[in-house]
């Protein structure tokens, strides 16, 4: 069995890994040694601790300048941003205008895409809301 363990909290992440290891040990104790094997490979961690607060503020200001109310919420996804952040290039996940991601009702209105483009333009220009 292959599973991905993900959580926003590093301590919870470590606890979940220990829980899985404990299940493996319990299974082997009940059914015999080496009945189950667990290999844990960490692929990446939460990027929250790698993002400077000033980058979040600059991004919020770019949203405001584009007429978009910024919402800061924890989210999953953004694997590229996580990998880049862990390589030394802090990357935020910012919206692309879509709604209902990863479901059968996912959609993106043209107006939302235009707002997303304006946010990126503001970030490139360094424009901030007054």
pTM value is 0.66
CB 127 within 8 A of CB 62: yes
Residue 130 within any structural domain of the chain:
no
Pair (5, 57) in one structural domain: no
Q: Which residue has the higher pLDDT, 118 or 87?
A: 118
62-82: pLDDT as tens digits: 999 999 999 887 766 667 888
Residue 122, pLDDT > 80, answer yes
Residues 41-45: contacts with CB within 8 Å, 24+ apart? Answer: 44/79, 44/82, 44/83, 44/86, 45/10, 45/13, 45/82, 45/86
Pair (36, 18) in one structural domain: yes
Pair (64, 98) in one structural domain: yes
Residue 67 within any structural domain of the chain:
yes
Pair (63, 113) in one structural domain: yes
Pair (112, 97) in one structural domain: yes
- Count of domains observed in the chain: 2
Pair (28, 60) in one structural domain: no
Domain that holds residue 79: 48-125
Pair (56, 104) in one structural domain: yes
Residue 94 within any structural domain of the chain:
yes
Pair (39, 52) in one structural domain: no
Give pLDDT, residue 127: 58
Residue 68 within any structural domain of the chain:
yes
31-68: pLDDT as tens digits: 999 899 999 888 777 777 788 888 889 999 999 999 99
Of 74, 78, 112, 110, whose CA–CA distance to 93 is shortest? 78
Beta-bridge partner residues of 99: 107
């Amino acid at each position: 069995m292959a599973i991905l363990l993900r959580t926003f909290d590093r301590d919870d992440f470590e606890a979940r890994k220990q829980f899985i290891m404990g299940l493996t040990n319990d299974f082997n104790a009940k059914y015999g040694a080496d009945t189950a094997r667990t290999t844990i490979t960490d692929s990446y961690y939460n990027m929250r601790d790698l993002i400077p607060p000033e980058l979040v503020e600059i991004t919020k200001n770019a949203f405001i300048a584009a007429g978009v109310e910024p919402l800061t919420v924890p989210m999953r996804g953004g694997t590229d941003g996580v990998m880049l952040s862990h390589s030394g290039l802090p990357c935020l996940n910012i919206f692309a205008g879509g709604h209902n991601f990863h479901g059968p009702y996912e959609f993106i209105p043209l107006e939302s895409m235009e707002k997303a483009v304006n946010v990126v333009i503001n970030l490139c220009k360094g424009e901030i809301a007054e």
